[in-house]
């Protein structure tokens, strides 16, 4: 099992460009999450999904959109990238809200 | 008061030492607790879930103290490979559901 995978691993964008980050999991988990991690701060939840076709806002959703068309995939979109979105993005999945989360390897995004 | 607080460290300990970290949480209705390990520029990896009765996995022991609202992680016989950041994660009520709150992490350096 691959667990949780993310593509791409690295990306550099110019301000105003758009991109989509892909997360895939093969553990048949219902719950999936997108986080960002910045120096000196804990992981902060951007959006999450409690099942196929559902999405919900997390702590820092502005500037991001998500979609969960298939149970195994969770996409994070940046419509118009800003330097403040320079960060490391982690996807995670879990069996339910009370269970442990499993993380993907992360995407390092730099917006210039 | 932060929802989840950890001492950022770093904790510098010699090989073979025993080291303990604490993590306090603000919401007494929190339902599940975890310790993750994060290596530099890598994703968080589950170290152990924390159960009410306490649990042990090899050199690692986790405890939960609901009365005082903290969890702890004890590492015995520290190895150089234990050097990492240890994240405390608490699953607590929020707006009719539950959310995972991450501490900012405690850095451990094991010295030869």
Residue B2 has pLDDT above 90, yes or no: no
Q: Which residues from chain A sit within 8 angstroms of residue B99, using beta carbons?
A: 45, 58
The dihedral region occupied by B53, where left means phi > 0, alpha psi between -120 and 50, and beta the remainder, is alpha
State whether B43 and A104 contact (CB < 8 Å).
Answer: yes
Residue B34 has pLDDT above 80, yes or no: yes
Distance from the Cα of B29 to chain A's closest Cα (Å) equals: 13
| ∠ CA A45-B1-B27, rounded to 5° | 70
Tell me the pLDDT band of A34, cut-offs 50, 70 and 90: very high
Report the mean per-residue pLDDT for chain B.
95
What's the pLDDT tens digit per position in A65-86?
999 999 999 999 999 999 999 9
Tell me the pLDDT band of B95, cut-offs 50, 70 and 90: confident
State whether A101 and B32 contact (CB < 8 Å).
Answer: no
Residue B1 has pLDDT above 80, yes or no: no
Q: Is B51 on the interface with A (CB under 8 A)?
A: no
Residue A1 has pLDDT above 80, yes or no: no
| Backbone φ, ψ for residue B42 (5° rounding) | -125, 175
């Amino acid at each position: 099992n691959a667990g949780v995978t993310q593509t791409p691993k690295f990306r550099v964008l110019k301000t105003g460009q758009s991109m989509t980050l892909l997360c895939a999991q093969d553990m048949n988990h219902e719950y999936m999450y997108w986080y960002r991690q910045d120096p000196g701060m804990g992981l902060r939840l951007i959006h999450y999904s409690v099942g196929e076709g559902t999405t919900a806002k997390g702590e820092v959703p502005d500037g991001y959109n998500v979609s969960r068309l298939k149970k195994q995939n969770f996409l994070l979109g940046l419509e118009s990238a800003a330097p403040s979105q320079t960060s490391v993005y982690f996807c995670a999945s879990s069996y339910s809200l009370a269970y442990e989360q499993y993380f993907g390897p992360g995407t390092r995004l730099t917006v210039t | 008061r932060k929802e989840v607080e950890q001492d950022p460290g770093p904790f510098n300990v010699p090989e073979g030492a025993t080291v303990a970290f604490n993590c306090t949480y603000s919401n007494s209705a929190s339902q599940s607790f975890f310790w993750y390990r994060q290596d530099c520029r890598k994703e968080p990896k589950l170290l152990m879930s924390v159960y009410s009765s306490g649990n042990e996995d090899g050199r690692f022991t986790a405890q939960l103290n609901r009365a005082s609202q903290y969890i702890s992680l004890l590492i015995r016989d520290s190895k150089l490979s234990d050097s990492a950041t240890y994240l405390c994660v608490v699953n607590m009520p929020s707006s009719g559901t539950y959310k995972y709150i991450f501490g900012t992490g405690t850095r451990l350096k094991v010295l030869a």
